[in-house]
Each structure stands twice: as C-alpha cells, then as structure tokens.
Chain A
Amino acid sequence: MTTIISITVLGVLILFLGILKKQKWLLPVILAGLVVSMALTIMDWNTFRSYNNGMLIVDNVSVAFSTVLIFSTFLIFSLAAQYYRGVQRPLDDIYGVMIFALVGAVMMTSYGNLIMLFLGIETLSIALYVLAGSHKEAITSNEATLKYFLLGSFLSGFLLFGIALIYGSTGSFDLQKISLFVASCSGTYPPMFLAGLFLLIIGLAFKIAIVPFHFWAPDVYEGTPTLLTAFMATVVKTASIVAMFRFFTHTFLGIHGVWETTIWVMAAFTILLGNLTGVYQPNLKRMLAYSSISHSGYMLLAVVAFSPMSNNALLLYTISYSIATITAFGILILIREAHGNDFFTSMNGMAKSNPLEAFCLTVAMLSLTGIPPLAGFMAKYYLFTTALEKGLVWLVIVAITGSAVSVVYYFKPIVAMYLKDPTGVQLKVETPYKIHLLFMTLMVIIIGILPFFLIGLL
C-alpha cells in the first residue's frame, strides 16, 4: 500500500515539476523517489497485511516482485538522460506517465480481488498506449500505438468479460471467495466459470505476449521509442506474468487439471516460436522482441510447475531477464543514436571502437542464452529444476531445444561486434551512462556467481 501511494505521489510531483518548468530536476527526483519507494516496499517484508477488505494483499511475493518492478524502472530511468539528450520538448509528461504505469504494475503484483487486477492492468495499459505513441513525429510510433491500442482494448474486453463470467458463477470478485468456490465444486465446474477462466487467461496472455496472442509484440516493440520498449519488455512483462502466476498458484490451484494443459502447450509454443522466429530477425530491436516472447515462455514453466519453488524460480528469472534485457536496450539506444538504425551490420566491429559497450552487450546476450556463470544460467537452471521436480520432462526438453536455437540469434550481435570489420562510427557515450552499463553487467555476473540471497528468499 505504501508502495502504491509513494509511487503515485512521485508521479504527481513530477507533473508539478513540469508545470514549474524544472526540467533539470526531473530525473534526479524520479531516481531518488524510486529509491525511497523501493525502501518503503522492502519495509513491508514479512508483514502480510491486506487493505480495503482484501482488495490489496501485501505479502512477501508481492513485496519481492514490486521491488523487482521498481528496480527495473530505476534502471530504465537511468538510461533516460542519454536517450532524451537532444530533445528540446518538456519530458515531464512522458516520465509522469511512466511512473503511473509503474503504479499499475505494482497493483498487478499485489491484487486480492479481480477488480483490482483489472484496474492495475488498465492503469498500466492506458499509460502504455500513450507512451507507445510518445514519439509523435515518427510514423512508426503512431503505428505502434494504434496497433497496441486497438488490440489491447479489445483484449481488455476479453479480460473484463472473463471477470464478469467468474463473478456470475461465484458471486464474488474476491480471490479468497473464488478459491472457496473452486473447492466447493468438487470436480464439476459450471461452464460459465470455465469460460470466464479461459477468457481471463487470454486477456493476460495478450499482455505477456504469449503465443498465440503475441502478434502485436514485434511491431509494437519496434515502433515504440526504445526507452519505452525496454519498459514494455521488462516491467510490463514481469507484472503480467506475476499477475497470472498469482491467480493460478493461489486461487485456481484447485482446478489445475483444467488449465494445466493449456498453459503447458502455450509455454511450449511460445518457447519454440519465439526462438525460431528470432533467428530470422534482421535487427537488434525485433530480435529482442522475439527474445522477450521466448522468455515469457520460460517464465510460464514456473507457472505450470506451481510448486513452492516456483516463486523463487520466477523471481530469479525475472530479475536476471530484466537486467540483461535493459542492458541490451541500453546499448541499442546508443546504436540507434549513432547509426539511425539497429541492423546487425551497424554493430560491425564495435568491439574495436567501443570495447566496454561491446563487452556489456556480450555479457547480456550470453546471460540471456544461459551460459554459466551468468545470472541467466542460474535462472534457467533453477527453473528447469523446478519443472523437473514436478515431472515436466517434455516441457524441459522443449525449453532446452529452444535455448539451443537461441544461440543463433543471441550470437549475431556478438559475431558482428567482434568478428566483422569496423564501420568506423564511434558511439558517443557519456561517463555516467558507461558506469550504469557496467553496473548492470556486474550485477548479471554477480547474481550468477552469488545467487544465495535470491534463491532463499521466498
């Protein structure tokens, strides 16, 4: 609760700073504010409280994932100074909307009521529709926002309809009461309830970009301003998968026989399709879009396994995925700035002109591939262990095959940077930005070598 309040206050504060024309203050205030709300969130550790008649539940899972979300946002805002370097227009609106989107994301990790879930998703989505189109002059940005808005609002309808059907059959929005209803059904469920459940799955699967509801993702990611694509690929994805994870492992655990196979198949296809299509992408941004699709497939493994280990597996996975992805986007911003595009050929010989940036991107790519001793490996290892404990042998085999395929595209930037002749363009990077990139890279390495803290957490 304090998290949501503090972030909202921060958002309003940013808008006020905008009115007062204090553009220079925006980023420092945001970063400080995010640190404060992160601290406030962590203070809720082990409190287990619920607010407003169980509308919001603050437990360790929600605290942990809210922290991940705020931290990811913090990392993304640290890239903002470089990204908006040459921009003359005031930025308070974009920053403010991003922070409000974060409020929605935090709500999605701590809802105790389906209405709250819907509110969270809408707060997040409406903010994102605006953000996707925030680069008004670019036609691609307009295309992205239109595509995202049309499909997103349509799918929100699905979600709402699903919630309505569940309400119709159970008589409540409250997750606690719904799980009581599930228990009382003893095996036979009213068709309306099941229909509602599947509409709910579809609505969330769209937000996470799970196959077969992923078609919007590559186009929208490509058109959206890069900084906000990083936000979509990490914060939005984490929040949505946690939302899904919460109601599956909590409320709908009793009827896992019904949804298990569906999620299993979706996970398998997401991994395979994301990785196979990723191979054919000509530029880094679309490649990262498909990479993010395939990683949502891996995250679904934690949902299908729904064991006590799943919490931790998902936490470790989202953290390592987010940090590595934000690092990659950080480099992507630089490349697009210097070259005007992000084709792999633009990255040729970057290891010679910008060794540090090349190294950071290499570590990020290797971590996403899952090479030890980086964070991505520990995350994948823990996830596979969780799934195998549950006996999901075939799904793990699919996931392993997917990882093997992913080498092909994760190595494209590495090959371009280290093995091709230089383009002669030097990326212009300011020192704080370099330090930030190095910090994230070190985190990827450190989480890989010393994952104790994260593994014992939940």
Chain B
Amino acid sequence: MLTIILILLPLALSLITLSLKKEKEIRYFVLTGALIEFGLAVAAFVQYKTSCHCQLLFRADWLASMGVSLKFGMDGISMLLVMLTTFLLPVIIMASFSHSYERPSAFYSLILLMEMALVGVFTAFDGLMFYIFWEMALIPAYFICAVWGGNDRIRITLKFFIYTFTGSLFMLGALIYLYSRTPMPHSFDFQWLYLVALTPTEQLWIFLAFFLAFAVKIPIFPFHTWQPDTYAEAPAAGSMLLAGIMLKMGIYGMIRWMIPICHQALQQWGTFAMILAVTGIVYASLIAIRQKDMKRLVAYSSIAHVGLIAAGVFALTIHSMQGAMIQMISHGINIVGLFLVIDLIEQRTKTRNIADLGGIALKAPRLAVFFMVILLGSIALPLTNGFVGEFLLLLGIFEHSVVFSAIGGLTIIFSAVYMLWMYQRTMLGTTNQLTGQIADLTWTEMATLIPLVIMIFWIGLFPGLFLDVALPDVLQILNFAK
C-alpha cells in the first residue's frame, strides 16, 4: 500500500499546487509535500526487510484481459532509488526558491509530477507500467527545461525529447515483442518476461532496442550529444532532476531489464557496449578539461562518471554491480550538489564562465567549503561517497577485464584534473569586479546544502547500510546472467 501512496501522493500534490496562486504559499506547500513524501519513503525503508523479494507489493487489475496489472513494489534496488528520488526532491525544490520563476504553480506542479513518474518507474513490476511511467517522466522534464530554460532552449529541448522518445519507442517495441512471446494468456509481469526463452538472434535485437533506450537516457557515448546542451540550458532544477535522478532510470533499466532478459546477448556483445562506455569516459573527460562554462564542465564530467557506472553494469561481477548501485546514489547527490553550487555562484555573479570568476573563497568562505566537499565527493576522494562507488566499480571491472579497468580508472585522474582546476580558477586567486562583492551563503542555502554534505560523508564512511539493502537482489539479477 505504501508504494502506491508514494506514487499517488505527488500526483495529488501536483494537482493541488496548480490551484494555488501565491508564490510563497506554493513554495511552502510543495516543500512540505515533498518532505512528507520523503518521510513516507523512510517509513518504507524501515519496514523493508533485506531479502531478494519484492516487498510492499501493491497489485490491482488494470487491463486484465491483456495481462497488464498495476503491480508496484520494491526490492532493494528499487528501494535505494526511491530513497534517492524522494531525498533529492526537497533539495531540488529548495534550490529553486532563490529564483522567482514565472508561473510558479506550473513549475512546482511539474516537478511533483516528475517525482510521481520517477517513483513509478522505480517501483513498477509490470512491463507496460514501467514504460508508461518512463514516458511520463519525459513530459514534465521537457516542459521544465523548455519553458524555464535558457536562450537556446527551444532547439535543444526538442532534440532532447526526440532522442529520448525515439529510444523509448524501440524499448516499447521490444517489450511488446517479449510480451507476445510469453505463454498464453500473455502477461507483462516481470516474472513472466524474465522467463521468455529467446533465440540468440532475438536476444540480440531485443538487446539493441533496450540498449538504444537506455544508452540515450544515461547517456553513453555516442548517444550523448543531447546532454551537455540540455543540462546547460535547463533551469537549475531541471538540470538537477535530469542529471540527479532521471539518468538513473537508464541504469536502473539496464539492471532490471537488460541483464535478466538479454544475458546471452550481453555476454556475447557486452564487450562492444563496454568499449562504448569506456570510450565515453575518456572522451568526455578530455572535453570537460577544455570547457569554459562550469555547467557544461559538470555535464561532461557526468558523462564520464555514468560511463563508468554503465561499464560496471556490463562487467557483470558482484563488485561492479554493487559499485554501480552505490555510485548511482552518490552520483545523484554529488551532481545535484555541484549544480546547486554553480547555480548559487551564477545567481551572485550572473555568469558561469570560469575565466570571469576567481577569488570567491576570499569573500565567501562557507560557499568555498561546501563546494570543496561536494567536489571531493565527485572526484572520489577516500572517505567520501564517490570513493566507495568508484572503488567497487573499478574492482569489479578489473575482475572482468584489466584493460577496461585501467582505462576506466583514468576517470579518477581526469576528474581530479578538471574539477580541481575549475575550483582553482573560480574559488582561489584574486577577486575581480564580478566576485569582489560576492555574498556568502544564507541560512536557507546552507540548509539546502547540509543534507547533501551529510550524505556524502555518511555513504563515504558507513556504506554498509546502503550496500546491504540491494545485495540479495543484485545477486539474484546476476544469477540470471550465469
């Protein structure tokens, strides 16, 4: 029951938000709603017993004659991602408070709608439901980025939409094909779809269709071209939603769908996918070094980081999979933090251009400290969350192939290069006209950043809790691949 409440609550809140008029009312209402949602997710987390079964199951008939049911539940993998979503949403909402957007009711309503779709994707245990929520997440994302975005938003967001929509359509085709291969009467239930016996050729085609959908969403090189532009032009909340949560849908899809269903194809052709993922790491890192715009730099760094996560998934070892799980959470927290700090700097100086900044640490020491912590998490310094994930990932990939691990490991070095260099050029040195009068963080901004910093250290120091939750389910998924 809790699961379906987690899905319906944001929907209800989103509809109520539309009817509110005053911006202040809307803000408090939405923030309270998101916090209640987080509270419910924590309650679910407390109830959850670590085992490899889908729990908190909600089941109702929807299209019984077609084998589609409203089946929502959570296993460890879902649990972690639902926690991530519901945790980041209040942060993202608070981060938007410092902007006064036009038509705030629509803006916050779309954010909540997005939350509903995301929770739906992560908890759906029915193929068609998964697809419906997957697609439903795209509409609010599109409108948030397109209506409240930067100057070149129209062209860029349309490109984003077409890329992701095309990918998803092929996934829909693959899902329906799988469905038509389940025994009569057909069913979209996960369990049935997992059991479909496919010939190697069929597996390859299904693999390609899934790969297209997920690779666009993540994004994996060479399907990434929509990403830096979209992140750069989106409003702060939009970039955070896309990078922090939405791209996890792709990795989640790979773990939940691709490995169990296309395991043969994955073993046969996984190397090619791995090559793409690893190429993306090096390629995006090199480009990130040369970026002039902070947001674009972070966007490219994101391609590199998620490339490593994807490589970990393709490596199919227990360490790499566990690394991928924990790194999904860490990456979500870190990138939201980075976008938040960049947004704070941009609000104060009206620029994201690295060359125009400098010496911010002198005037705004609190901002500098928070930026440093988040940045260190992102470059995987030991004791921070990034380290746990990337270490496990590299270990797992190493067990699979030394070469890929060596190349993938470059991401740590590269990310230190571009991140620290960015920090040096923006925060250190002498102040200039733009940064001379920069104000330090206010209490609200601190309150937004503190939860992120707490999580960075919590996962970095005591990752056990997060690792254990998903372990049985990850093992079960890996069993399919053997």
Q: Which residues of A contact B (CB under 8 A)?
A: 366, 369, 371-373, 377, 381-382, 384-385, 388-389, 393, 396-397, 400-401, 403-404, 407-408, 411, 415, 418-420, 451-452, 455-456
**Chain A residues, Cβ within 8 Å of B179:** 385
Across the A-B interface, give the 6 residue pairs with the lowest CB-CB distance, nearest first: A404-B166, A372-B132, A400-B169, A372-B135, A388-B180, A389-B180
Q: B63–A452 contact, CB under 8 A?
A: yes
**Chain A residues, Cβ within 8 Å of B128:** 381
Q: B131–A372 contact, CB under 8 A?
A: yes
- Selected from B139, B146, B173, the residue in CB contact (under 8 A) with A384 is B173
Q: Which of B157-165, B286-294, B426-434 contacts A (4 or more CB under 8 A)?
A: B157-165
**Chain A residues, Cβ within 8 Å of B165:** 369, 404, 407
Number of chain B residues close to chain A: CB under 8 A: 29
**Chain A residues, Cβ within 8 Å of B172:** 381, 384, 400
Q: How far is the CB of A349 from chain B (nearest CB, A)?
A: 12
Query: What are 30 contact pairs spanning A and B, CB under 8 A?
Result: A366-B139, A371-B138, A371-B139, A372-B132, A373-B136, A377-B135, A382-B66, A384-B172, A384-B173, A385-B176, A388-B176, A388-B180, A396-B176, A397-B173, A400-B172, A404-B166, A404-B169, A407-B158, A407-B162, A407-B165, A407-B166, A408-B158, A411-B161, A415-B146, A415-B158, A418-B146, A419-B146, A419-B154, A452-B65, A456-B65
Q: How far is the CB of B474 from chain A (nearest CB, A)?
A: 29
Q: How far is the CB of B72 from chain A (nearest CB, A)?
A: 15
Is B143 in the interface zone, CB < 8 Å from A? yes
Alpha-carbon gap, A419 to B139, bound state (A):
15
Q: How far is the CB of A386 from chain B (nearest CB, A)?
A: 10
Q: B146–A372 contact, CB under 8 A?
A: no
**Chain A residues, Cβ within 8 Å of B173:** 384, 388, 396-397, 400
**Chain A residues, Cβ within 8 Å of B58:** none
Is B269 in the interface zone, CB < 8 Å from A? no
Is B177 in the interface zone, CB < 8 Å from A? yes
**Chain A residues, Cβ within 8 Å of B180:** 385, 388-389
Alpha-carbon gap, A411 to B142, bound state (A):
11
Q: A381–B176 contact, CB under 8 A?
A: yes
Q: B161–A407 contact, CB under 8 A?
A: yes
* Beyond A400-B173, A415-B154, A419-B146, 9 additional pairs, beta carbon < 8 A: A366-B139, A384-B176, A400-B170, A400-B172, A404-B165, A404-B166, A419-B147, A452-B62, A452-B65
Number of A-B contacts (CB under 8 A): 72
**Chain A residues, Cβ within 8 Å of B62:** 452
Annotate B174-186 by CB proximity to A: 1 below 8 A, 0 otherwise: 0011011000000
Alpha-carbon gap, A420 to B155, bound state (A):
12
Alpha-carbon gap, A366 to B140, bound state (A):
12
A393-B177 CB under 8 A given contacts A372-B135, A384-B172, A407-B165: yes
Alpha-carbon gap, A95 to B242, bound state (A):
52
Within 8 A of A (CB), among B36-82: 62-63, 65-66
- Selected from A408, A415, A455, the residue in CB contact (under 8 A) with B162 is A408
**Chain B residues, Cβ within 8 Å of A382:** 66
**Chain B residues, Cβ within 8 Å of A369:** 165
**Chain B residues, Cβ within 8 Å of A396:** 173, 176
- Selected from B146, B154, B158, B162, the residue in CB contact (under 8 A) with A404 is B162
CB closest chain-A residue, reference B65: A456
**Chain B residues, Cβ within 8 Å of A366:** 139
**Chain B residues, Cβ within 8 Å of A455:** 63, 65-66
CB closest chain-B residue, reference A411: B158
Q: How far is the CB of B169 from chain A (nearest CB, A)?
A: 5
**Chain B residues, Cβ within 8 Å of A377:** 132, 135
Q: How far is the CB of B299 from chain A (nearest CB, A)?
A: 22
Annotate B130-153 by CB proximity to A: 1 below 8 A, 0 otherwise: 011001101100010011000001
**Chain A residues, Cβ within 8 Å of B136:** 371-373
Annotate B325-346 by CB proximity to A: 1 below 8 A, 0 otherwise: 0000000000000000000000
Alpha-carbon gap, A52 to B260, bound state (A):
59
Q: B158–A418 contact, CB under 8 A?
A: no
Alpha-carbon gap, A407 to B128, bound state (A):
21
**Chain B residues, Cβ within 8 Å of A415:** 146, 154, 158
**Chain A residues, Cβ within 8 Å of B63:** 451-452, 455
**Chain B residues, Cβ within 8 Å of A407:** 158, 161-162, 165-166
Alpha-carbon gap, A411 to B161, bound state (A):
10
Q: A388–B135 contact, CB under 8 A?
A: no
CB closest chain-B residue, reference A366: B139
Alpha-carbon gap, A401 to B172, bound state (A):
12
Q: How far is the CB of B102 from chain A (nearest CB, A)?
A: 9
CB closest chain-B residue, reference A382: B66
**Chain A residues, Cβ within 8 Å of B153:** 419
A388-B166 CB under 8 A given contacts A372-B132, A377-B135, A455-B66: no
Alpha-carbon gap, A369 to B165, bound state (A):
10
Alpha-carbon gap, A223 to B396, bound state (A):
66
**Chain B residues, Cβ within 8 Å of A411:** 158, 161
Alpha-carbon gap, A384 to B180, bound state (A):
11
Alpha-carbon gap, A411 to B162, bound state (A):
10
**Chain B residues, Cβ within 8 Å of A388:** 173, 176-177, 180
